[in-house]
């Protein structure tokens, strides 16, 4: 009976995360102009049939930082983007273009005048999503993996999945196999409010974590393959 209740909770939590993510796009009339612009571009990009070959050409601009394989840098200065969900990539690119996500380094590389409009986002996201993930991302010191696992299972897995695989339909990113230092920086950015395009529910959750707990969960997730 306990297993059944637990499973029902997981289904409910995933559905709740999905509804929240979709509402960001659908409730455009009640958000800022920047958010509305991002949401409209996300919708357009999702409606377009992607051309990964064109995406490969566009990706040449991205490779200078994320490398040809999309694995970024193990020190976390640039994330692993290879194998990330297409919808997640589209949303993040649209948010960066609309300045909903502060990322000055990305602005010139994601600008419509540089790479194109919604079709370009659709194409490059499809190409990146098809790249194999980094088999050996940067990791932490490995000293608090049990703590990290407990925190992840209790607080994160309901939305991000038991293996941090994310959910493409719900715009929830895949976290497993991401560089430890990048994961930690994003958690801290969400906690401080610097990363403005994060799910408010996640922002509230990470505020309950101490710095050692954030380090532990980031280290644990970076090791999931």
Residue 3 has pLDDT above 60, yes or no: no
Cα separation values, 220 from 73, 128, 180, Å: 18, 24, 8
Q: Average of pLDDT values for 139-145?
A: 97
Rounded to a whole number of angstroms, the CA Rg of the chain reads 17
Write the pLDDT tens digit of every residue in 26-85.
444 555 667 778 889 999 999 999 999 999 999 999 999 999 999 999 999 999 999 999
φ, ψ (nearest 5 deg) of residue 172? -100, 120
The predicted structure's pLDDT at residue 28: 45
24 — pLDDT class (breaks 50, 70, 90):
very low
* Per-residue model confidence (pLDDT) at position 33: 66
- Work out the pLDDT band at 8, boundaries 50, 70, 90: low
The domain segmentation of the chain, as residue ranges, is: 2-129, 145-222
What pLDDT score was predicted for residue 35?
75
CA gap 207, 37 in Å, rounded:
29
What confidence tens digit (pLDDT) does each residue in 121-131 have? 999 999 999 99
Fold entry, domain 145-222: Cytochrome Bc1 Complex; Chain D, domain 2 (1.10.760)
pLDDT at 70: 98
Whether residue 184 has pLDDT greater than 80: yes
Equal fold, 2-129 vs 145-222: yes
What is d(CA 85, CA 101) in angstroms, rounded to the nearest whole number?
Answer: 18
pLDDT at 199: 86
Angle ∠(48,81,53) on CA atoms, nearest 5: 45
What fold characterizes domain 2-129?
Answer: Cytochrome Bc1 Complex; Chain D, domain 2 (1.10.760)
CB 102 within 8 A of CB 92: no
Tokens 């050409």 appear where? 57
Instruction: Name which of 139, 119, 121, 118 is nearest 129 in CA terms.
Output: 121
Residues 137-143, mean pLDDT to the nearest whole number: 97
The mean predicted confidence, pLDDT, of the chain is 88
Q: Please name every residue paired with 157 in a beta bridge, in sequence order, or none if there are none.
A: none
**Residue 2 pLDDT more than 50?**
no
Contact 206, 171 (CB under 8 A): no
pLDDT of amino acid 25: 47
């Amino acid at each position: 009976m306990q297993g059944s209740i637990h499973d029902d909770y997981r289904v409910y939590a995933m559905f709740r995360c999905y509804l929240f993510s979709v509402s960001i796009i659908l409730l455009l009339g009640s958000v800022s102009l920047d958010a509305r612009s991002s949401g409209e571009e996300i919708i357009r990009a999702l409606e377009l049939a992607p051309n990964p070959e064109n995406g490969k050409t566009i990706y040449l601009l991205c490779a200078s930082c994320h490398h040809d394989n999309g694995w970024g840098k193990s020190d976390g200065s640039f994330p692993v983007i290879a194998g990330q969900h297409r919808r997640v990539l589209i949303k993040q690119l649209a948010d960066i273009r609309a300045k909903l996500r502060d990322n000055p380094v990305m602005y010139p590389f994601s600008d419509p005048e540089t790479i194109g409009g919604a079709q370009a986002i659709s194409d490059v996201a499809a190409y990146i999503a098809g790249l194999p993930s980094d088999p050996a991302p940067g990791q932490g010191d490995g000293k608090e993996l049990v703590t990290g696992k407990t925190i992840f299972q209790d607080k994160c897995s309901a939305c991000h999945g038991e293996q941090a695989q994310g959910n493409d339909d719900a715009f929830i990113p895949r976290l497993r196999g991401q560089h430890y230092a990048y994961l930690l920086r994003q958690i801290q950015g969400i906690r401080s409010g610097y990363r403005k395009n994060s799910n408010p529910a996640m922002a509230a959750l990470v505020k309950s974590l101490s710095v050692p707990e954030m380090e532990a969960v980031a280290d644990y997730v970076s090791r999931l393959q």
